[in-house]
Structure 1
Amino acid sequence: MSDAEFPDAWYLILSSRLIPDLDGGYTISTLARARQMTDAGAAPLLLTVDPGAVDAHAIHRATFVERGAAAASEVFRNLFDEAVAPAGGAADWLREAAHDGRPDPALEYRDVAGGTVSLPIVVDPDWHLTTAPIVVRDTTGEPVGIVDGFGALYRAWLTHLASELRAENDRPIVVICESRQLGELIVGWGDDRVRILHTVHTIHLEPPYREDSDLNALWRRWFEISPRFDAVLWPTAHQRADVRDRFGDAANDLVAPHAVPVPDVVVPSAERDAGRVVVLGRLAPGKRLDHAVRAFAHAAADITGARLELWGEGAQRGALEALVEQLDLTDSVALPGLTTDPGAVLDRAAVYLTTSAFEGQGLALAEALAHGTPVVAYDIRYGPRDMLAGGGGILVPDGDEDALAGALRRVSTDAALRERLSREAREAATTLSPARAMRTLAAACREALGRERRR
């Protein structure tokens, strides 16, 4: 067996939801992992548990396939789509999971899955941990029983799905869990032939995001259970080192960055617009795009044809437009909205700029490296330090807008520097290649399947 060959098993990628243009890099990287595993021969299924309508799920899947983000609509499975029997009412697996009981009279409920399931409305950050009754109904809408909370519901579906897959081919199952909330709910799943690998997409710290900062409250419980997963996949060595310094290395943890493909042909630096600076991502407070606008304003006078493009959508659009107008930058700063072709944006740019306060890895930065686009970035947790360790950009102290402006000025006005950084960027991107990512993931699966489950 080669390093990149996956063991003979069923592979399930478990996500809370997958909706086009929602959840930023999370959705992109989760779908990318599935495509890369498919290309490597593992053929995973993509499982979701969002209670949207069947028609909405079909539209989402078709959009992903049309964009090339998914191989086929058939690779997707959704719990609530499968909660309904062909003739209506609850599916057999859901009826079997239900027991006698009634709704909680203190809670409001909402009907999903065509009225087959009634979910309790729990207003709490830890809503997913509730054991409040979930009501299961027949074709007439009458209750046939209850399930004790979301965890019991999700595990019942996974147990049914595992049985269905094994009836087709009796082999072990590897679940790649992409969601912290789902990880908390399935860590106790008592199937000896299932291994759970848990990925990480984001930072675990509160502001100011230092190694000794408080843990994000949503992560405290997860760290208590993390040694029970068969592997934990951290996107950067920096984050894993911080976690090990704080919690030790009891977990079977490894560094497994989200991968990006490197184009066969890259636009040479000389053919790009030397004054074009681009940002890709949500227009959200954590991205600190006001820093990007102000730093660009300080540097623009020294850059011929200076132009800043903030690609994305989000809650900060209005505030950013007001800032651009206040600084009299309406002719040189644009907010073009979303793009479904980030590669084309990067291929035109002289510089990729990132001003985030925190990241999990920074998928857009990785894409910039793959396209040979020099990077200017704050040195934050997590991502830029790891990805630029071999060159490809300039790191500046976190929050230092003057240093940010200086780095923009240097790269935008020095053709030789841009050429060197572009070459380094391509080299740096090889560490994030799908081939390397799949070797790492296949090895983790082999190791997990080669011993008893940790749960």
Structure 2
Amino acid sequence: MGVGGSAPSETAPRLLDAEYLVLSSRLIPGLDGGYTIATLARARQLASAGVDGGRGPQLLTFDPATTAAHDEHRRLFAEQGALIEPARLRNLFDEAQAPGGGSATWLRAAADAGAAPDPGVEYRVLEDAEGRPFAALPVIPANPDWHLSTAPVLVYDAVGAVAGAVRGFRGLYRAWLEHVTASLGDRTIVVICESRQLGELVADWSDPRVRIVHTVHTIHLEAPYTVDAPMNALWTRWLALADRFDAVVWPTATQRDDVVARFGSSAAHAVVPNPIAPVEHHDDLRESGLVVVLGRLAPGKRVDQAIRAFLAADVAGSRLEIWGGGPEADRLHALIDELDAGERVVLAGHTDDPGRVLDRASVVVTSTAFEGQPLGVVEALLHGAPVVAYDVRYGIRDVLAGGGGVLVPDGDVDALGAAIGRVLRDHDLRARLSAEAPTVAAAWSPERSLDALTSVLGAVVSHPSRR
């Protein structure tokens, strides 16, 4: 899970002197998949490069759960080795509470004392551990653009009365960020923003100390995921703001290139592959004829196509194990029954040891409609398992172009089945792909990722803010 260590490596690239902050909408164990893994890995990368003496950046989160819940998140991340120093994971709402009740001093200072609740808006009142209100958030139901609401966020005094309000979530978030950065003096502050919603709200942050590096974790396209496919409103607005960030960091070159070709190069685009730590794989566990699908059982993963392709390959003695859970499980059970494939295709459920599953696999198949970052493909290659995949945006082609697997046209179930059959039947081909796999995966190593990241950060620290 990314890079670890609590002290800077003797061989790690050094960063220019600055304060480093990582902004994330939320960081919750077991939630948001690759996003959470990649965000925490980036923080550990910065620690390995010497940020704050190896303690790493401050991680600033914005989800309004309870302090007890956030404490549990810190404990679990530390237990998993994902977080070097739990105190570096901070949360706005933990710090919005005054010890004696009501809102913290910084929040009261930011509030307009004459502001009142919006009578047309429902409010969610937040209370401290003693049941005392300290803030109230406007509830914007069924609206993906809730973060843009200008409805007042209410601020309470020590006796539980409304003492004023700040203007929307932008006002609340910016008040905290200005509080956090107020103690940093004249130092350059590098803000690594991991969330597009947060990015929209800080894109006009004109503090001359601040440099904003915005990372990307997901595909920017909607179905059918072609280079000119439509985008949702959040992506459209965000791309219109991209040139305000001091750097925009993409996980793959193909996505960066597609964006530049479609929208121009006015933003400062860069590519930093997400780090995936090397593993010790066990070829002695490899099982002849075992085909594996590993991941969430969601509609976009198109696991039904992987099942049909596997059956079409029709290789004697082969079997398919599908590992993971999700909303498609019942439909896939029904499909397996319909195809009378229960003896060869198994929905194996969740695994706590995905590495062992990949060590056992002769072939790993991915039939997803899209990707944002190729973590699953790289992990399969690290375990020496050849990958057969649809050629979809983004990331899979970036990886398999170097070897270790077979790409087939998107959505061509017959071609996917033929490729599965070819790799299973051809021992020499399978051995070659398996031997290539770890070398190909090394392009996503922590060392190469850190080299790319420090290059980007060095450039932004060395230049004035773009805002």
What TM-score results when the alignment is normalised by the length of structure 2?
Answer: 0.92
Counterpart check, 1:78 vs 2:87: no
Amino acid at match of 1:51: P
Q: Deviation of residue 65 (structure 1)?
A: 1.8
Which deviates further from its counterpart, 211-220 or 78-87? 211-220
Question: Which of residues 104, 116, 124 is equivalent to 2:134?
Answer: 116
Residues 374 and 399 in structure 2, CA contact (< 8 A), matched pair in contact too: no
Give the share of equivalent positions with the same residue, in percent: 55
Q: Deviation of residue 3 (structure 1)?
A: 7.6
Counterpart check, 1:65 vs 2:78: yes
Partner in structure 2 of residue 345 of structure 1: 357
Counterpart check, 1:153 vs 2:172: yes
The 2-side partners of 1:6 and 1:113 are apart by 40
Amino acid at match of 1:193: R
Residues 231 and 252 in structure 1, CA contact (< 8 A), matched pair in contact too: yes
Question: Which of residues 7, 11, 18 is equivalent to 1:9?
Answer: 18
Q: Deviation of residue 271 (structure 1)?
A: 4.1
Structure 2 portions without partners, runs of 5+: 1-9
The 2-side partners of 1:178 and 1:447 are apart by 19
Amino acid at match of 2:391: D
Residues 376 and 393 in structure 1, CA contact (< 8 A), matched pair in contact too: yes
Counterpart check, 1:198 vs 2:211: no
Partner in structure 2 of residue 448 of structure 1: 460
Q: Deviation of residue 358 (structure 1)?
A: 0.8
Q: Deviation of residue 77 (structure 1)?
A: 0.6
Question: Which of residues 57, 60, 66 is equivalent to 1:47?
Answer: 60
Residues 303 and 412 in structure 1, CA contact (< 8 A), matched pair in contact too: no
The 2-side partners of 1:78 and 1:378 are apart by 40
Partner in structure 2 of residue 127 of structure 1: 146
Aligned partner of residue 419 in structure 1, secondary structure: helix
In the superposition, relative to structure 1, how do residues 122 and 214 fare at CA in structure 2: closer, same or farther (>3 Å)? same
Residues 24 and 282 in structure 1, CA contact (< 8 A), matched pair in contact too: no
Residues 252 and 271 in structure 2, CA contact (< 8 A), matched pair in contact too: yes
Partner in structure 1 of residue 292 of structure 2: 278
In the superposition, relative to structure 1, how do residues 279 and 4 fare at CA in structure 2: closer, same or farther (>3 Å)? farther
Partner in structure 1 of residue 105 of structure 2: 92
Aligned partner of residue 116 in structure 1, secondary structure: strand
Question: Which of residues 244, 261, 264 is equivalent to 2:277?
Answer: 261
Question: Which of residues 254, 262, 267 is equivalent to 1:238?
Answer: 254
Q: How does 1:200-349 map to 2 (within 5 A)?
A: 200-263=216-279, 265-268=280-283, 271-299=285-313, 301-304=314-317, 306-349=318-361
Q: Deviation of residue 380 (structure 1)?
A: 0.4
Which deviates further from its counterpart, 333-342 or 244-253? 333-342
Per-residue CA distance 1:382-401 (angstroms, 9 max, x = gap): 11111111101000100011
Q: Deviation of residue 287 (structure 1)?
A: 1.0
Residues 24 and 281 in structure 1, CA contact (< 8 A), matched pair in contact too: no
Aligned partner of residue 93 in structure 2, secondary structure: coil
Aligned partner of residue 11 in structure 1, secondary structure: strand
- Aligned residue pair count: 448
Per-residue CA distance 1:66-91 (angstroms, 9 max, x = gap): 22222232221111111101222111
Residues 115 and 165 in structure 2, CA contact (< 8 A), matched pair in contact too: yes
Aligned partner of residue 81 in structure 1, secondary structure: helix
The 2-side partners of 1:142 and 1:380 are apart by 55
The 2-side partners of 1:198 and 1:281 are apart by 27
Structure 1 portions without partners, runs of 5+: none
In the superposition, relative to structure 1, how do residues 284 and 113 fare at CA in structure 2: closer, same or farther (>3 Å)? farther
Residues 12 and 447 in structure 2, CA contact (< 8 A), matched pair in contact too: no
The 2-side partners of 1:410 and 1:322 are apart by 28
Amino acid at match of 1:311: W
Partner in structure 1 of residue 378 of structure 2: 366
The 2-side partners of 1:112 and 1:281 are apart by 36
The 2-side partners of 1:39 and 1:311 are apart by 33
What TM-score results when the alignment is normalised by the length of structure 1?
Answer: 0.94
The 2-side partners of 1:303 and 1:286 are apart by 29
Residues 29 and 363 in structure 1, CA contact (< 8 A), matched pair in contact too: no
The 2-side partners of 1:278 and 1:225 are apart by 41
Per-residue CA distance 1:152-200 (angstroms, 9 max, x = gap): 1111111111123x16xx6321111111111000111121111111111
Aligned partner of residue 222 in structure 1, secondary structure: helix
Aligned partner of residue 15 in structure 2, secondary structure: coil
Amino acid at match of 2:416: L
